[in-house]
Amino acid sequence: MIRRIATLTVIAGCVWAFAGCEKKEEPKPADALQKAAADAANQATDIAVIALLEKADAFDGKVDKTVSKCAKCNLGMEGKPDQVIVYSGYTIQFCSPGCKKEFEGDVKKAVMAMNIPAKK
Ligand SMILES: [Zn+2]
């Protein structure tokens, strides 16, 4: 009899622990999924941003990881070596502190908004 109670107690304890555990972990799969989706979106944005930086880098005729034309001015102005943002290994030059400042807030968004002119 005592043994039976002990067994039941162990079983009850297991069930309780399992239920407690499951309850705690319940929001996790959704969180993980959301995080994975956010990571994937972030990664896709990074790839797009780097592709645009590559294109902007090539625009000036020299592939050297330096965007020498002002990125904020859609590469229409010469960038200055003392007005730069370094992003993902690219040195992005700007024509003025104002252009740099506008770009600096959200570099990713600014690069995505860039309108790279077609090469002549
Ligand atoms: Zn500019």
Distance 47 CA to ligand 1 centre (A): 24
Residues with CB under 5 Å of ion ligand 1 are: 70, 72-73, 77, 95, 99
**14 lies in some domain:** no
What is the per-residue pLDDT across 57-105, written as a single tens digit (0 to 9) for each? 999 899 999 999 999 999 999 999 999 999 999 999 999 999 999 999 9
Identify the CA nearest to 111 among candidates 22, 34, 45, 16.
45
Q: Give me the pLDDT at residue 38, please.
A: 95
Domain total in the chain:
1
Task: Tell me what pLDDT residue 14 has.
Answer: 42
Query: For residues 30 and 84, what is the distance between their CA atoms, to the nearest angstrom?
Result: 40
Angstrom distance (rounded) from CA 82 to CA 79? 9
- Structural domain span for residue 83: 27-113
Let me know if residue 9 belongs to a domain. Answer: no
Q: How far is the CA of 76 from the centre of ligand 1 (A)?
A: 8
Instruction: For residue 79, give the 3-state DSSP assignment.
Output: coil
Residues 6+ apart with CB under 8 A from 42: none
Separation of 100 CA from ligand 1 center, angstroms? 7
Q: How far is the CA of 77 from the centre of ligand 1 (A)?
A: 6
The pTM assigned to this predicted structure is: 0.70
**Separation between Cα atoms, residue 120 and residue 81, nearest integer Å:** 25
pLDDT tens figures, 32-57? 999 999 999 999 999 999 999 999 99
Stated as kind and residue range, the H or E segment containing 83 is strand 80-87
Q: Is residue 19 part of a domain?
A: no
The band of 28, judged by pLDDT with boundaries at 50, 70 and 90, is: confident
pLDDT at 8: 53
Domain assignment present for residue 18? The answer is no
